[in-house]
Structure formats: C-alpha cells, structure tokens
C-alpha cells in the first residue's frame, strides 16, 4: 500500500474537520432556519443552508431570492369630506415558493404603514405616490412596489380648511344636490368666463399655500366646482357663496396634488353655477417641481402694519418671510418704532445691511444672532470715508464680511466712488485692479462662489480704459480673488482684494433716451448667467432704475458669453414673444412691462432655479387697482413680490423662464419690493434638520439607524440632493440628473 503524501493527508484531515462543523444557527445574520416555512415545512439549502455573504451558499451557488406577492399593486384611497376609506393590502414573502416570516417596511412612510406583524399594508390617505416595499427574512431581502392613488371630494369648507396668505374669499359652504348635479353635468360655454390667476404653464414648488383661483364673469356665481387631476390623483371640490369671483384650492388637496405628483402635468378645471345653469369649463395646466423652496426672502415693505413709525404719513420696514409662512415678520426685533429700509443680505444668511430713517445712517445686523447690531455706521469711518449711505445697495460678499459699494444713480445712493468697505468698521480696503479702473459700479453683485462680480458699468476712472463704460446702459463682469490671510475675529475674510478681467457682457443702445438703462444684476447659482432689471421706460422723476413714478422694466437674462434674451414667460408674454397672456384692465394695459429688481435663490430646488422680483402687475381681482399706488388706503396695492422658475438645462437661445406666481404671505395693503433671497443661517452638528443645506458642515443624516435626521460631518459615500459638494462626481447619480451647483447637489430637469 502506497504511503499517502503529507499534503494529501492534510487535505483529507481538513475535509473531515469541516464535516463536523455545525451549520450557522437560525439567530445568525448569515444563515436561515431550516424550518422557516410558515407551514412548518423545511426549506433546505445545500451545505446546511449557509450563505456567508447573504447572496450565495457556501459552495458558491446563488441563494434563492425572496419574492413578494404581489410584486406590484395599486391601492385606491377615497376621501369624502375628510373621511378616508382605504382597504389594506396583504403582502406575502416567499422563498422557494413557500411563504416565510418577514419584517416589512416602506421607504415612504407618508404613504401608509404595515401592521405590527405580518405583511398587511394600510394606506394613510395623507399622500399618494409610489413606494418601495421591502421584506427581510434573515439574510434574504425582497422588494415590491405599491402605488397609492387618491380620489378626493369635498362639498363645502371643512372645519379646519388650512391654507392662507393669498387673500381673497375663504372657501364657501356646501352646495345642494341639484347644484352639484349641474356642476357635474354638461356645462354651457361662456366667452365672458375668463381666468385671471394663476397663469397657464406655471411651475409650482412644493410646500406653498394653495393658490387662489381668480376669474371674471358677466354672471353672478353662486357655486363653483374645482377639479384637480394628475396621474394617481383626483380632487373635486364644490363650494357655494354669493357673487363668487375667487376661491382657494383646499389646502389638503393641494398638498396631496403637489407632494404626490409624479412629474406629469397637474390640471385644474373650473366651473361656475348661477343658480340655474352651469358655465365653463375653463382650465389651466401646471407643472410641479419635486422640491420645496429653500431660504428666506427679506424685503422692503412700505405701509406695513408691523411698523408704527411714520415719515410723511408712511411707514417702512424690512420684513422677512419663508415660503409656507402665513404672515411676514419684522426682521429687526424692536424696529416697529423706527424706519429701517433699503437692505442687502449676504448669500449665507449671516449679515443684513440697511439704512435708518434719514438714510444717512446705517447698520449691519447679525441674522445668526437674532438680528443683533454688528455695527452702526454714522459720521466718518476710519480713514475718512463718509458713512452717509454706506453699504446702500452694495454687492455683499457671500459671507457678509465686506461689500463692494454701489455709487450714485439709485434713488438713494452713496455719494462717492465705489470701493470695498469692511463690515466691522466701514473702513475702505485697497482693491487692486478695481480702484484705478472703475469709478462707479452701480448695484454690484458677487457671484455665489465669490469669484466674480457683476455691475452696471456706469463710469470708468478715465476714458482710456477699455471696454468703455456704458453710462448706465451696460453690464460688466470682473474676476475677483480673495487673498489668504483674512480675519478670523470679525474683520474681512479676505487678506487682500484683487480684481481683473473687466469685460462687458451686455449693452443696450443709447437711443431712445427714455429706455435702455440696466441694474440690479443677480447671479444664477451656477455662476454662468445673470438676470437683471432692463428699463423699458424711465420714470418721470428720480432714479432711472427705480420702480416708481411710471417706471417700466422687464427682467432679462444674459450668460457669460453675452447671449441675452428677455424672460418672456416670467414677464408675461407668450413664449414666442407675441401678445401677452397677462389679464388687463383700464389701469393695467401692459403689465408685462412692470417687473423690477430680481434676486435669485442661491439654492436650486426641485430641478429649477427660482427668481423673486418686484412686480406692479394686477393680482387677479384681489389687487387690480392703480399699479403705482403706495398702499396708503384700504385697497390692496399691486406692488408685490412674485416668484418664477428658471430652467437649469435650457437650450441656448431659448427662454428658460416660466410664468410667475404670487409669493404667499405678503400683506395685501402694503407695497413690497426688493425681495432679497438668502439661505437660512446654518445649524451646527447634532441639530435636527431636513436637508443638508440647513447644516454648517453641509450634511443631514440619521443619527442612528431609524433615528431622526441631524446635522453631521461628511459621511462616507456620495452626497444627496441639497448636501455639500465640490464637483458633480461628489453627488449621488452625479453626471446624470444631479449636478453640483453652488456647492450643493441639485436635481436637474432635462
């Protein structure tokens, strides 16, 4: 008998040893109970059922998958006057064709929940949409899809209708059976039934108050029906009243329609009934952005009820409003007995600059500390520069530590040349490449990344400088370098200030003399384009780039290659530029020319950029009066803030804008202007959050598995939407439908 080699002997010994090792127990993470069939039968696998990595058995063969039945199911939820009817769905998890015990979860808890045990899922009725169902049976995982569809009806206002901040009539009462039958039946067309607001083609973000539907008709409406529909959602509301000319959409229906939207069109249909006959149908079709608006809008408000101090019978103050608020608040606490107006805000939401009472004095405020005063600017600053109107309409650097001063030509203006001024004491800072080149930069604005500045290039230091100054009709851009060595104790964050590359990107002709002036440039978040105020008719007195005394202007767009266009849809014209879609009356024949002073939300949301601007257009039949009314009477003034979506990926040469919507929450009787959009002050690690833009370190994640979201340091893996990034490759799905814009991962609509 031949002697076994040592190697062969060792191999046999090891095989014998492995044969005696027991299989992994049923409590382990990598095995399964051989008696895990729900009927008590055995579901055997090779090698005792071991699959060490959860996907393969020990001998290398793939684990039989866990399947869920049904794999896809559509659930219908009916909500009638607030009462929810929803039948549960029984899901089953199976392995090798036999049902097994499993734990169940859904990635969208707002759609519904599972029973404490078993696979029974019950929709909540809160929202519709598509959810991912996950079943886990030890190491095996299976997935399925649930589609929740909602059909909703409401007859008359509920006890708690929600909503607000949009003016007009409240929801009416219930309609009787005969009226409801007419509203649901054939309707008689009526040419005099005209839709006023909202506009066709509007893009809505999520999280706003429901809009107020406004119309005009030659018939006195005693009842209306409002029908909202999109994929998987249907709402019909019936409301009675006297001489109805406007009605809000039920807030709970609006929330379901917008948060549950799947990217398709949201259609609204309106009918009216005069007590004997139903007329209509008039319709509008909208888009819903898959995101909420971020940040806060700070704006000047004249004759606000939040300020008691008056000058020449008028009050003024700086108010702030977050999308979703019913009413604005006074930005500077205790300022109700003062006149604090004419403001600018840093992009990071840390610093507010404003003027006081006589405009000669000003101050800076720390918005991260309850708007506490940082510095009052009176008299002369160190070095001898005047503080008279200093920081007024200046271009504030993104962290608020310094600003490039606007010089001359605004309604209230700094009287000397443009310079860099430090926030801490108002002193002038040397700026190479700028001080000897540009004399008067009007309404300047730094880009979100702080590397460029744009301004109305009104006056150069001498005539030999090229390009030539535009005398109020041109926009220029310069590169900016923030030198190392800046202060860490409250002074400017840059150790030096260097400008270069003066270049003109937009110029209007010099004639006719009553138009063509430009101002108030504002950067889109990617720093590749600007929106600005383009004068169509200069006012009869005051600054040529103001909003009053008959001033007419439009919001225009220009990219860094000099390609420009009027934002036709935002301003109120049809996409091809022909005709206007805005309603008219005797006092509002050309509202597409009454749009001024844009600023841009620094954060892209839901696949769009968002522009807030001043407009004197009529707000349907709620504010149809004199567009230049100061808001001193009991009638709402049309001078208000509006918001419009801008496409991120618009093809070159096309209009990237969409029709605007009224920003909810404004006081109807106050004249509001110069909405300055800024991100909210960031939160430190450990603070609760919803998305990464709220956090100083840029990330918002679960503190423990299944726990709440808190601000945190950068975790491993990719960055989610709204979280911090340096390049697009940092973002989850980077290069696809997510892009790094202004150091935040942002969704892109292609």
- Cβ count within 10 A of residue 178: 11
Kindly state the average pLDDT of the residues 501-507.
98
What is the distance of C-alpha 64 from the center of its chain?
A: 45
Say how many CA atoms lie within 13 Å of 393 toward its Cβ: 26
Kindly state the average pLDDT of the residues 51-61.
51
Kindly state the average pLDDT of the residues 622-644.
90
pLDDT at residue 630, as a whole number: 77
pLDDT at residue 617, as a whole number: 98
β pairing state of 233-240 and 140-155 = parallel
Tokens 């866990």, residue located: 66
CA-CA distance, 601 to 523, in Å (whole number)?
9
Tokens 């929810």, residue located: 84
Q: What tokens does 361 get?
A: 């004095």
Q: What is the pLDDT of residues 690-730, one digit of tens each?
A: 889 889 999 999 887 667 889 999 998 999 888 999 999 99
Q: What is the pLDDT of residues 506-540, one digit of tens each?
A: 999 999 999 999 999 999 999 999 999 999 999 99
β pairing state of 278-292 and 203-206 = parallel
pLDDT at residue 5, as a whole number: 45
Planar angle of CA 60, 93, 142, nearest 5 degrees: 55
% of the chain surpassing 70 pLDDT: 90
Kindly state the average pLDDT of the residues 324-338.
91
Q: What tokens does 374 get?
A: 């940082």
pLDDT at residue 750, as a whole number: 56
Q: What is the pLDDT of residues 435-468, one digit of tens each?
A: 999 999 999 999 999 999 999 999 999 999 999 9
Kindly state the average pLDDT of the residues 683-690.
90
Q: Which band of pLDDT confidence, cut at 50, 70 and 90, is reported for residue 683?
A: confident
Q: What is the pLDDT of residues 187-232, one digit of tens each?
A: 999 999 999 999 999 999 999 999 999 999 999 999 999 999 999 9
pLDDT at residue 12, as a whole number: 40
Beta strands in 124-192 (DSSP E): 129-137, 140-155
pLDDT at residue 721, as a whole number: 87
Q: What is the pLDDT of residues 116-158, one digit of tens each?
A: 889 999 999 999 999 999 999 987 899 999 999 999 999 999 9
pTM of the entire predicted model: 0.90
Kindly state the average pLDDT of the residues 285-294.
94
Nearest to 478 by CA among 508, 464, 457, 448: 457
Kindly state the average pLDDT of the residues 264-282.
97
Given a cut of 50, is residue 541 above it in pLDDT? Answer: yes
CA-CA distance, 40 to 684, in Å (whole number)?
53
Inter-residue long-range contacts of 332-339, CB under 8 Å, 24+ positions, other chains counted:
332/365, 332/371, 333/370, 333/371, 335/307, 336/306, 336/307, 336/308, 336/309, 337/307, 337/308, 337/309, 338/307, 338/309, 339/307, 339/309, 339/311, 339/315
pLDDT at residue 546, as a whole number: 96
Q: Which band of pLDDT confidence, cut at 50, 70 and 90, is reported for residue 6?
A: very low
Peptide bond into 467 cis (omega under 30): yes
Radius of gyration for the chain, computed over Cα atoms and rounded to the nearest angstrom: 31
Distances (CA, A) of 89 to 54, 100, 146, 396: 28, 17, 9, 56
pLDDT at residue 38, as a whole number: 57
CA-CA distance, 630 to 327, in Å (whole number)?
20
Q: What tokens does 334 get?
A: 């205790």
CA-CA distance, 84 to 152, in Å (whole number)?
9
Q: What is the pLDDT of residues 546-591, one digit of tens each?
A: 999 999 999 999 999 999 999 999 999 987 767 789 999 999 999 9
Given a cut of 80, is residue 37 above it in pLDDT? Answer: no
CA-CA distance, 653 to 475, in Å (whole number)?
19
Q: Which residues contact 174 (CB under 8 A, 6 or more apart)?
A: 155, 156, 238, 239, 240
Please provide residue 47's backbone torsions phi and psi, each rounded to the nearest 5 degrees.
55, 40
Q: Which band of pLDDT confidence, cut at 50, 70 and 90, is reported for residue 673?
A: very high
pLDDT at residue 577, as a whole number: 65
pLDDT at residue 735, as a whole number: 53
Q: What tokens does 208 get?
A: 């706003």
Kindly state the average pLDDT of the residues 611-638.
91
Q: Which band of pLDDT confidence, cut at 50, 70 and 90, is reported for residue 634?
A: confident
Query: Which of 68-72, 255-259, 710-714, 731-735 bottoms out in mean pLDDT, i.e. has the lowest?
Result: 731-735
What is the distance of C-alpha 654 from the center of its chain?
A: 22
List helix spans (H) across 526-669: 568-571
**By the 8 A CB rule, do 307 and 277 touch?**
no
Kindly state the average pLDDT of the residues 370-393.
94
More confident residue, 488 or 293: 293
Q: What is the pLDDT of residues 150-189, one digit of tens each?
A: 999 999 999 999 999 999 999 999 999 999 999 999 999 9
Kindly state the average pLDDT of the residues 267-286.
97
CA-CA distance, 194 to 279, in Å (whole number)?
11
pLDDT at residue 706, as a whole number: 62
pLDDT at residue 549, as a whole number: 94
Element (H or E) spanning 305, and its range? none
pLDDT at residue 309, as a whole number: 86
Kindly state the average pLDDT of the residues 647-676.
93
Q: What is the pLDDT of residues 605-616, one digit of tens each?
A: 999 999 999 999
pLDDT at residue 40, as a whole number: 47
**C-alpha dihedral (204, 209, 212, 213), degrees to nearest 10:** 40
Identify the structural domains of the chain with CATH numbers, from first to last.
156-292 (2.60.40.10), 296-678 (2.120.10.30), 692-747 (no CATH)
**By the 8 A CB rule, do 396 and 403 touch?**
yes
Q: What tokens does 94 get?
A: 């199976």
DSSP 339-361: -EEEEEE-TTS-EEEEEETTTTE
Region of 579 please: left (phi>0), alpha (psi -120 to 50) or beta: left
**By the 8 A CB rule, do 263 and 239 touch?**
no
Highest mean pLDDT among 161-165, 234-238, 337-341: 234-238
Nearest to 575 by CA among 651, 664, 663: 651
């Amino acid at each position: 008998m031949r002697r076994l080699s040592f190697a062969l002997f060792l191999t046999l010994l090891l095989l014998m040893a492995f044969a005696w090792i027991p299989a992994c127990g049923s409590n382990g993470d990598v095995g399964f109970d051989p008696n895990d069939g729900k009927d008590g039968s055995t579901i055997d696998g090779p090698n005792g059922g071991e699959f060490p990595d959860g996907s393969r058995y020990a001998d290398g063969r793939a684990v039989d998958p866990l399947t869920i039945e049904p794999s896809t199911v559509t659930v219908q939820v009916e909500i009638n006057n607030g009462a929810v009817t929803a039948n549960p769905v029984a899901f089953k998890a199976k392995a090798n064709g036999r049902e097994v015990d499993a734990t169940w979860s859904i990635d969208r808890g707002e759609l519904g929940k599972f029973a404490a045990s078993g696979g029974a899922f019950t929709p909540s009725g809160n929202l519709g949409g598509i959810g991912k169902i996950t079943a886990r049976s030890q190491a095996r995982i299976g997935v399925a899809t649930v589609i929740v569809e909602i059909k909703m009806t409401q007859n008359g206002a509920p006890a708690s209708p929600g909503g607000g901040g949009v003016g007009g009539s409240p929801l009416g009462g219930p309609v009787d059976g005969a009226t409801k039958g007419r509203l649901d039946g054939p309707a008689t067309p009526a040419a005099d039934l005209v839709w006023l607001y909202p506009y066709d083609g509007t893009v809505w973000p999520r999280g706003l108050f429901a809009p107020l539907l406004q119309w005009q008709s030659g018939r006195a409406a005693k009842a209306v029906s409002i029908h909202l529909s999109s994929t998987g959602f249907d709402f019909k509301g019936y409301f009675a009243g006297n001489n109805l000319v406007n009605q809000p959409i039920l807030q709970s229906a609006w929330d379901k329609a917008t948060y549950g939207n799947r990217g398709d069109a949201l259609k609204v249909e309106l009918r009216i009934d005069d007590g004997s006959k139903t007329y209509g149908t008039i319709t509008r079709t909208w888009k819903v952005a898959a995101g909420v608006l971020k940040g806060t809008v700070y704006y000047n408000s004249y004759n606000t009820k939040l300020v008691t101090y008056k000058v020449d019978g008028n009050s003024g103050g700086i108010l702030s409003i977050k999308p979703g608020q019913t009413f604005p608040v006074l930005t500077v606490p205790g300022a109700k007995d003062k006149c604090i107006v004419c403001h600018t805000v840093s992009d990071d939401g840390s610093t507010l600059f404003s003027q006081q009472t006589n405009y000669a004095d000003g101050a800076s405020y720390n918005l991260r500390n309850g708007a506490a005063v940082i510095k009052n600017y009176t008299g002369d600053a160190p070095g001898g520069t005047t503080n008279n109107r200093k920081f007024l309409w200046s271009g504030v650097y993104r962290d608020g530590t310094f600003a490039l001063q606007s010089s001359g030509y605004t309604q209230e203006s700094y009287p000397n040349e443009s310079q860099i001024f430090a926030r801490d004491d108002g002193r002038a800072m040397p700026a190479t490449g700028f001080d000897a080149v540009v004399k008067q930069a009007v309404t300047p604005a730094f880009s979100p990344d702080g590397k460029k500045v744009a301004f109305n290039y009104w006056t150069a230091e001498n005539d030999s400088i090229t390009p030539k100054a535009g005398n109020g009709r041109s926009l220029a851009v310069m590169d900016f370098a923030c030198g190392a060595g800046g202060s860490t104790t409250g002074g400017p964050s840059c150790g030096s200030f260097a400008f270069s590359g003066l270049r003109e990107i937009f110029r209007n002709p010099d004639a006719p003399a009553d138009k063509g002036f430009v101002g108030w440039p504002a950067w889109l978040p990617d720093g590749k384009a600007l929106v600005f105020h383009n004068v169509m008719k200069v006012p009869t007195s005051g600054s040529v780039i103001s909003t009053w005394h008959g001033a007419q202007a439009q919001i225009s767009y220009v990219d860094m290659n000099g390609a420009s266009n009027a934002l036709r849809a935002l301003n109120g014209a049809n996409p091809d530029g022909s005709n206007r879609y805005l309603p008219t009356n005797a006092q509002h024949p050309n509202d597409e020319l009454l749009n001024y002073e844009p600023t841009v939300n620094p954060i892209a949301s839901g696949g769009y950029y968002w522009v807030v601007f001043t407009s004197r257009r009529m707000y349907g039949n709620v504010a149809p009066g004199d567009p230049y009314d100061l808001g001193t009477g009991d009638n709402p003034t049309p001078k208000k803030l509006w918001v419009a979506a801008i496409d991120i990926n618009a093809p070159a040469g096309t209009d990237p804008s969409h029709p605007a919507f009224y920003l909810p929450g404004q006081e109807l009787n106050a004249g509001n202007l110069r909405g300055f959009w800024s991100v909210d002050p960031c939160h430190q690690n450990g603070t609760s959050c919803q998305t990464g833009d709220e956090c100083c370190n840029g990330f918002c994640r679960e503190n423990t598995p299944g726990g709440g979201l808190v601000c945190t340091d950068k975790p491993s893996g990719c960055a989610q939407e709204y979280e911090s990034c340096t390049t697009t490759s940092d973002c989850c799905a980077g290069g696809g439908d997510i892009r790094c814009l202004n150091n935040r991962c942002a969704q892109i609509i292609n």
